């Protein structure tokens, strides 16, 4: 697409998030600053009308640079755009880019833009920032475990996840295989899809791993029950430059960047759309993704837990084969046995009694626990329902306890004392 010799231009640039400030530097009426998307149509063809009447105009090519970095085949198309624009408007046209991509823009379109000292400064700064970010992001991962630490995590995992004994054994075996393959440089992420009715413990798998490995870090959890309609992918990883909300980033990207946790939980995958499915199977294949702000998000060493309220008869109809085939492990969780439910009630009641004793006062532990555990939980299939029932029962029982009354009276007395003063 290099039809004739032309003078290389110096790229203008603006700081990230300050495009509007940059555009205001040019006097109105004499200048127009366009994102490149304003000059193209849905078929990636160039369209521009009326801009020849403008004394001077500036085109933001940031999105163009980002796309060309990911897809080399688009570079030829973009070079054609620049040629077409320059042939009629070379004297009164300039190009700008977000400063973060200044170096890349000069490299990708080296025939059109000259590289100067500022490009080299940006490159040096980018390399320094990348090193600093990498150091900050370095975090403990399952692949870094020695045998003692690994056994401790698995032991707690087995204790805290009620029922699903075969799954727990298979999970341990699969994680050990992942660690080996990762050290052989054959795998970067471990992913599993857990299906089954609501409340049978699917999401709890991710929660337990988070508690045991990253208790002080914000969890990375996405629920597709909160996503709907077009633009879901943008909500997930950020919208392109120039669109409303592009500076805010996407939910998944923001949570990953603000947490050292390497456990991701994706709930209700069955409610995602086709664009999301495509994004995930590419992400699982590469162990990373590039968001629409141009950041490469490396997921090396991550465990990604997907859940879906599906069963063996319908999950293959809802989850596309290209994505389904990329999961390292798929499992359908069945409702807990009655013995598992009773064990859960017993353990959860112990925790409630412990909290009450710590924050309120002495309690008749044995009597209260017996009354709660002896209740019939056979008809409950959902652990959340059982948990709610146990808490309600507990509150009803301790409400008659003298320690509770003393606590309420003491609180009331303190408030009255403060009011009097």
pLDDT score, position 26:
75
Distance CA 322, CA 167 (A): 24
pLDDT score, position 369:
92
Q: What percent of the chain has pLDDT over 90?
A: 34
Extract long-range pairs of 396-401: CB within 8 Å, 24+ residues apart. 397/368, 397/371, 397/372, 398/356, 398/363, 398/368, 401/363, 401/364
Q: Which of the pair, 409 or 267, is modelled with greater confidence?
A: 267
Query: Which is nearest to 381 in space by CA: 132, 199, 214, 255?
Result: 199
Give me the residues paired with residue 264 across strands.
220, 304
| Cβ–Cβ < 8 Å for 266, 307 | yes
Residue 180, SS3 per DSSP: helix
Using DSSP bridges, classify how beta strands 31-35 and 263-267 pair: parallel, antiparallel or unpaired: unpaired
> Band of the pLDDT at 137, cuts 50, 70, 90?
very low
Residue 13, SS3 per DSSP: strand
> Band of the pLDDT at 372, cuts 50, 70, 90?
very high
Q: Which of the pair, 276 or 126, is modelled with greater confidence?
A: 276
CB contact set of 398 (below 8 Å; sequence gap of 6+):
356, 363, 368, 404
Distance CA 200, CA 268 (A): 14
Using DSSP bridges, classify how beta strands 288-290 and 296-298 pair: parallel, antiparallel or unpaired: antiparallel
| Cβ–Cβ < 8 Å for 372, 396 | no
For the cut 80, the answer to whether the pLDDT of residue 408 exceeds it is no
Q: Which of the pair, 182 or 92, is modelled with greater confidence?
A: 182
Structure letter (DSSP) for residue 271: G
The per-residue pLDDT for range 256-284, each reduced to its tens digit, is: 988 999 999 999 998 888 888 888 988 99
pLDDT score, position 206:
96
**Which sign does the torsion angle of CA 30, 34, 38, 39 carry?**
positive
pLDDT score, position 37:
65
Q: In what order do the strands lie in the sheet with 190-196?
A: 220-223, 263-267, 303-308, 190-196, 329-333
Distance CA 199, CA 384 (A): 6
Distance CA 305, CA 330 (A): 10
> Band of the pLDDT at 237, cuts 50, 70, 90?
confident
pLDDT score, position 123:
45
Distance CA 330, CA 306 (A): 9
> Band of the pLDDT at 221, cuts 50, 70, 90?
very high
pLDDT score, position 119:
59
Beta strands in 368-407 (DSSP E): none
What is the distance of C-alpha 69 from the center of its chain? 23
Q: Which of the pair, 25 or 324, is modelled with greater confidence?
A: 324
The per-residue pLDDT for range 52-79, each reduced to its tens digit, is: 555 677 888 888 887 777 677 777 888 8
Q: Which of the pair, 108 or 168, is modelled with greater confidence?
A: 168
Distance CA 295, CA 220 (A): 18
Range with top average pLDDT, 37-51, 87-101, 294-308: 294-308
Backbone angles phi, psi at 217, to 5 degrees: -105, 145
């Amino acid at each position: 697409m290099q039809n004739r010799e032309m003078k290389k231009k110096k790229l203008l640039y603006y700081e990230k998030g300050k495009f509007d400030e940059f555009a205001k530097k040019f006097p109105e009426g004499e200048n127009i600053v366009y994102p490149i998307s304003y000059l193209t149509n849905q078929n990636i063809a160039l369209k521009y009308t009326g801009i020849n009447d403008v004394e001077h105009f500036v085109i933001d090519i940031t999105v163009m640079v980002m796309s060309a970095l990911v897809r080399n085949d688009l570079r030829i198309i973009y070079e054609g755009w620049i040629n077409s624009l320059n042939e009629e408007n070379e004297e009164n046209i300039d190009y700008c880019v977000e400063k973060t991509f200044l170096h890349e823009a000069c490299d990708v379109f080296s025939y059109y833009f000259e590289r100067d000292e500022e490009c080299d400064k940006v490159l040096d700064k980018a390399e320094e920032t990348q090193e600093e970010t990498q150091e900050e992001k370095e975090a403990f991962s399952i692949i870094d475990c020695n045998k003692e630490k690994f056994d401790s995590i698995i032991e707690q995992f087995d204790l805290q996840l009620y029922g699903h004994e075969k799954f727990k054994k298979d999970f341990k075996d699969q994680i050990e295989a992942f660690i080996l393959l990762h050290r052989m440089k054959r795998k970067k992420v471990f992913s599993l899809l857990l299906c089954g009715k609501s409340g049978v413990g699917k999401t709890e798998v991710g929660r337990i791993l988070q508690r045991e490995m990253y208790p002080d870090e914000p969890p990375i959890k996405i629920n597709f029950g909160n996503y709907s309609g077009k633009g879901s992918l943008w909500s997930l990883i950020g919208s392109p430059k120039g669109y409303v909300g592009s500076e805010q980033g996407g939910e998944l990207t923001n949570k990953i960047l603000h947490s050292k946790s390497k456990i991701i939980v994706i709930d209700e995958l069955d409610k995602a759309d086709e664009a999301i499915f495509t994004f995930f199977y590419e992400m699982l294949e590469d162990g990373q993704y590039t968001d629409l702000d141009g950041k490469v998000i490396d997921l090396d060493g991550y465990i990604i837990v997907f859940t879906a309220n599906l069963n063996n008869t319908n999950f293959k109809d809802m989850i596309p084969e290209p994505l389904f085939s990329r999961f390292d492990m798929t499992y359908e969780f069945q409702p807990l046995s009655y013995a598992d439910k009773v064990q859960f009630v017993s353990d959860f009641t112990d925790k409630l009694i412990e909290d009450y004793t710590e924050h309120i006062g002495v309690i008749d532990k044995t009597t209260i626990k017996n009354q709660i555990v002896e209740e019939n939980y056979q008809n409950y299939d959902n652990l959340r329902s059982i948990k709610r029932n146990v808490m309600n029962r507990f509150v009803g029982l301790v409400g008659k306890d003298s320690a509770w009354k003393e606590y309420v009276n003491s609180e009331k007395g303190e408030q009255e004392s403060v009011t009097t003063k």
